[in-house]
Amino acid sequence: MAIIGVGMTKFGRLQDRSLLDLLADASWSAIKDAHAEDTNFDSIYVGNMSSGKLNNQSAVASALVDRLNLIPASADRIENGPASGGSAIAVGYKTIKSGLSKVILIVGGEKMTHVSSATSTEVVSSMTHPLAEKIHGVTLPSFAAMLARLYSQKYGLTDSQRLQVAIKNHSNGLLNPYAHFQKEISLEKALSSPIIADPLRLYDCCPRSDGAAALILMNAELAESYTNTPVYISGSGQATDLHIVHERPDPLKLNAVKIAAEKTFLQANLTPKDVDIIELHDAFSILEFVQAEQCGFFEDGTYAKALEEGIVARNGELPVNVSGGLKARGHPLGATGVAQACEIVWHLQNKAGPRQVKDPKVGFTCNFGGFGNNVVTHLFSKDVKN
Amino acid sequence: MAIIGVGMTKFGRLQDRSLLDLLADASWSAIKDAHAEDTNFDSIYVGNMSSGKLNNQSAVASALVDRLNLIPASADRIENGPASGGSAIAVGYKTIKSGLSKVILIVGGEKMTHVSSATSTEVVSSMTHPLAEKIHGVTLPSFAAMLARLYSQKYGLTDSQRLQVAIKNHSNGLLNPYAHFQKEISLEKALSSPIIADPLRLYDCCPRSDGAAALILMNAELAESYTNTPVYISGSGQATDLHIVHERPDPLKLNAVKIAAEKTFLQANLTPKDVDIIELHDAFSILEFVQAEQCGFFEDGTYAKALEEGIVARNGELPVNVSGGLKARGHPLGATGVAQACEIVWHLQNKAGPRQVKDPKVGFTCNFGGFGNNVVTHLFSKDVKN
């Protein structure tokens, strides 16, 4: 099946737009990009984590379908924590495969900067285990810090090496007009930024952002009458892992990442060697290391070398997070999985402007829910229909 | 595709169980009913409206898949207000149809009696339009009251006629061990119960309930090795309508109900005349009237006569809400759509005990989201594979 249009709002602190405004803005951009203004949509899926707690609104999908004049299309919200966007794409993928829908709008979004950081931390923490984790005050940054410590102990990763992710991703974000941050940062600045959860510093962590991203999914035959540059979804994988992080036999092995990626490659009949561009879920710098390795792109413990050698730089052999990643593009929870797909689509269509990667054929995304206990990965191809 | 097992918790005020407990209890019952204890599940879908606001928890699907030891199955929460359960079934239906999953657990649930009725009213109202409706204090009971007035003006429905729904459904609930209320009520008691939103009285309204319901969905071939009494989903339809109720050209015409039902019958190649048993979304008595008519079972304005003649009674030609409906079985928001399916499955399997309807072949459910702006309907058959 094919993606025939994508659209995004700028990510950042968007004080004058409501959640519904953001979802509608991104949707309209995607509909316009697809030249689908007069198309009848069968279904819309909204990826959103916490409209209830953050925006005091439920049934946002029903509200959006009305706002977009897409009635009577079916409309549902798909929630899988910060991987809600990836899950919305996965549900859309299955729906097109079922033959029951031919044209689907998928939109992910979150509006969260209007609440205090204490409130948003509380909301994000509400996906940890209520009795084994949340009650003790564990937050997502603290889990990431523990992962960083384990990884450093095992592979000798230094703070300077780890923060290269932030430097690379900020450098990429500089060229992305949709990014929350469009500025480069120095190693010195990163190393002297405040500790958030030892050893992680401010520049190891993504910001809180508002924003939305959307795409139009169609069955491949129909897509040909809409665009000459369809991008095919060639694999869609999702996997879960133990909820309680300390119960995992080896917390460094993010098994859901590994299994989701394997399923996705198997489905697409592709291997990591076929991939030309990658978007990973670097909510914390260390996650880019572990995901890149668990997905099969690099041997365990070697991602620092890939960074050092420029392999994953924008102009490298296998660029990672050319969008700026969650670190610089920002992380409006439910939007992220869809924004990752938008970035890949733009590169495969040669529409990524000054940050365009040279002639990529296959792109990969990893959207990370919970602390790695519900992960969604996708493969996108320029040529392969699936 | 086939349902091979169903399970429910009792509905009611369940003070000693958390949301996750309820979801797990219902899931285990369904797994046991399906003899699927050793089966690998591909996906689970959780229908739940407001875990964030009511239970301070997000990503409940990820938590549940761990609790049930169904890792690494994919897990997502599907939210469509009080029709979240119906939507979870609809997404599961598409997923099986896609061929990408063979075995799916669908579970709907809500835990809401632990908060004040003011809080739960606020949560339920959060699906109305924020600027055109909610800000003015409109609640779901007030919408239902306006619908009841319009219907009464047009068709001359009296309070006594309207409350026959409550009397019938309480009479049915008496025989349902899972029902929130197991007691009959008299017309006198119903007519003298307090006004909630004029003309609706207490006995026109469903209670707030805790509870969960689950079912196991499989592709039809695989199902044959699990059960001799599979129940097939032969149609799954969903439709949306204008969000703002006063913008609808005729608020009495619940267009989403009509369109969803038509899609469902078309898909199943069945007509309303083929249906033997119906579960409708009687959150308010008047909704049973309008849904029964809009779905095509009765001419507009004639449902009072059907009630009077006993046609929709448990032993009538076309029994409606034999479970007790939302009025007596209760209405734990996200659970309701799945509980409706459970009731139909039990009757089609001849397992409904003292409330068993005689030899039904085809059952129909209507799950009503928003104030009718996102509706999910299903057809279930004993014989027809689809």
Cα nearest neighbour of B373 on chain A: A62
Over the range A12-44, which residues count as b (16 or more CB within 10 Å of their CB) and which as e? bebeebbbbbbbbbbbebbbebbebeebebbbb
Please enumerate in sequence order all residues whose Cβ is within 8 A of that of B246, keeping only pairs 6 or more positions apart, or say none: B132
Mean pLDDT of A231-248: 97
Maximal C-alpha separation, chain A: 57
Question: What is the overall mean pLDDT for chain B?
Answer: 97
CA-CA distance, A207 to A210, in Å (whole number)?
10
Residue B87 has pLDDT above 90, yes or no: yes
Cα nearest neighbour of A374 on chain B: B62
Per-residue model confidence (pLDDT) at position B74: 98
**pLDDT level of residue B383 (50, 70, 90 thresholds):** confident
Question: Two tokens at A371?
Answer: 């602390």
Cα nearest neighbour of B240 on chain A: A72
Within 10 A of A383 (CB to CB), how many other CB atoms are there?
Answer: 10
pLDDT digits (tens, 9 = 90+) for A6-43: 999 999 999 999 999 999 999 999 999 999 999 999 99
Per-residue model confidence (pLDDT) at position A386: 55
Mean pLDDT of B195-211: 98
Mean pLDDT of A253-261: 97
CA-CA distance, B4 to B345, in Å (whole number)?
9
Query: Which string of DSSP letters, residue by residue, matches A371-382?
Result: TTTEEEEEEEES
- B-contacting residues of A 346-385, CB under 8 Å? 369-370, 373-374, 376
Q: What are residue B209's phi and psi, to 5 degrees?
A: -140, 155
Question: What is the CA B383 to chain-centroid distance, rounded?
Answer: 23
Residue A384 has pLDDT above 80, yes or no: no
Judge if ipTM > 0.95. yes
Residue B42 has pLDDT above 60, yes or no: yes
**pLDDT level of residue A383 (50, 70, 90 thresholds):** confident
User: Is residue B65 less than 8 Å (CB to CB) from chain A?
Assistant: yes
Mean pLDDT of B158-163: 98
pLDDT digits (tens, 9 = 90+) for A112-149: 999 999 999 999 999 999 889 999 999 999 999 999 99
Q: Determine whether the interchain pair B58/A97 forms a contact, defined as Cβ–Cβ distance below 8 Å.
A: no
Question: What is the overall mean pLDDT for chain A?
Answer: 97
Per-residue model confidence (pLDDT) at position B386: 55
Nearest CA to CA, how far is A100 from chain B (Å)?
7
Torsion angle of alpha carbons A142, A146, A151, A154, nearest 10°?
A: 170
**pLDDT level of residue A385 (50, 70, 90 thresholds):** low
- Give chain B positions within 8 Å (CB) of A50: 52, 58
pTM of the model: 0.98
CA-CA distance, B57 to B55, in Å (whole number)?
5
Q: Using the 8-state DSSP alphabet, how is residue B309 labeled?
A: T
Per-residue model confidence (pLDDT) at position B372: 96
Q: Cα angle at A271 between A164 and A328, to 5 degrees?
A: 25
CA-CA distance, A9 to A209, in Å (whole number)?
11
Residue B266 has pLDDT above 80, yes or no: yes
Task: List alpha helices for B130-245, DSSP H.
Answer: 140-155, 159-173, 187-191, 220-223
Q: Determine whether the interchain pair B62/A95 forms a contact, defined as Cβ–Cβ distance below 8 Å.
A: no
pLDDT digits (tens, 9 = 90+) for A301-341: 999 999 999 999 999 999 999 999 999 999 999 999 999 99
User: Is residue B123 less than 8 Å (CB to CB) from chain A?
Assistant: yes
